[in-house]
Amino acid sequence: MSKRRKSSPAEDLMDLVAMLPWWMGVALAVSSYWVLHSVASRPLPTATSAPQIVQFAANGLLQTLATFGQYLLPVICLIGALVSALRRHRRRALFESTSTSSSADALHGMSWQEFEILVGEGFRRRGYSVKELGGGGADGGVDLVLTKAGEKSFVQCKQWIAFKVGVTTVRELYGVMAAHGAAGGFVVTSGRFTKEALAFAHGRNIRLIDGPALMGLLREARGKGDRNTFSPASPSEAPGSQTVKSPGLTPQATEVAISAAKTELPAEPPCPRCSKPMVRRVAKQGSAAGKAFWGCSEFSAGCRGTRDI
């Protein structure tokens, strides 16, 4: 990834506002104008002594900055709001056009930037809060940071057509998850995964989503109009599950395979110490960070019984 050019404070502020909903940018523009306008229009007191002269100079400088800022800051906020609105329109248009396509070829005709936008919009419809990094994440490869129910997940997007996503990519994401305390991770590609990548993800809180599965989920979200149907369940919602597919499966067959795999998941086992029901937990630190395990439901009462998943 090439280094980003240095940006000015105004550009940084504009980018920050553009990450907010457009109406918040407009609200910031209006409020900043009135605050700065009240400072700029405030009459300066008469200075008669040395301390008052110093205070007069400081107030004069502040008033001068407010005079220019009362117009400049609202303009920056309004431009940021416009960018936010355009991005929102672009995300929705891309989602609608792609979800109506009959095959995964629609994913191959877009740029990697559009692919990341599409995946981010999909997770938004799943109820996640999405922060787009554009490859500028913890290791330069995380594209999206998801937040839901207080848990953080990382997403790596690979808009690869000619190559399969290998185990190295999945390992890198798993390492970043452990280093930064992420509860789960997703690797999303328009193509396929190697057998080694699928094997490494098995049993870990990493979901592998290939092109056909992504298209099937996009169509499902659009057809049902439910914001909670886009993506496969998050690692905290589907114990031990992952999206594993054969290259010959259609999107419909893939969904059947996923449903069948979920029915084979083990029920909550009893605690080996107190025989109480166990709940699925995720290790957040140590060498097993990011890995799922069974923990006793009476943990708060002092029981430390655990089982491997």
How does pLDDT run across 151-184, given as a tens digit for each residue?
A: 899 999 998 776 789 999 999 999 999 888 899 9
Q: Is the pLDDT of residue 228 over 60?
A: no
Q: Read off the tokens for 7.
A: 């940006």
Q: Percent of the chain scored above 90 by pLDDT?
A: 23
Give the DSSP letter string of 192-214. -B-HHHHHHHTTTTEEEE-HHHH
Are 115 and 139 in a shared domain? yes
Are 160 and 227 in a shared domain? yes
Residue 4 belongs to a domain: no
Residue 271 belongs to a domain: no
Q: Is the pLDDT of residue 236 over 90?
A: no
pLDDT band at 280 (very low <50, low <70, confident <90, very high): confident
CA dihedral over 275, 280, 283, 284, signed as positive or negative: negative
Ranges of H-type helices in 110-182:
112-125, 167-180
For residue 144, report the phi and psi dihedrals to the nearest 5 degrees. -135, 140
Residue 104 belongs to a domain: no
Q: What domain range includes position 16?
A: 9-99
Are 126 and 199 in a shared domain? yes
**Number of folded domains that form the chain:** 3
Strand partners, 295: 279, 306
Give the C-alpha separation, 137 to 172, whole Å.
Answer: 12
Are 76 and 220 in a shared domain? no
Last residue of a domain, one of 49, 74, 99: 99
pLDDT at 102: 67
Last residue of a domain, one of 79, 99, 119: 99
In 3D, which of 108, 149, 115 has the Cα closest to residue 132?
A: 115
For residue 117, report the phi and psi dihedrals to the nearest 5 degrees. -60, -45
Residue 273 belongs to a domain: no
Residue 48 belongs to a domain: yes
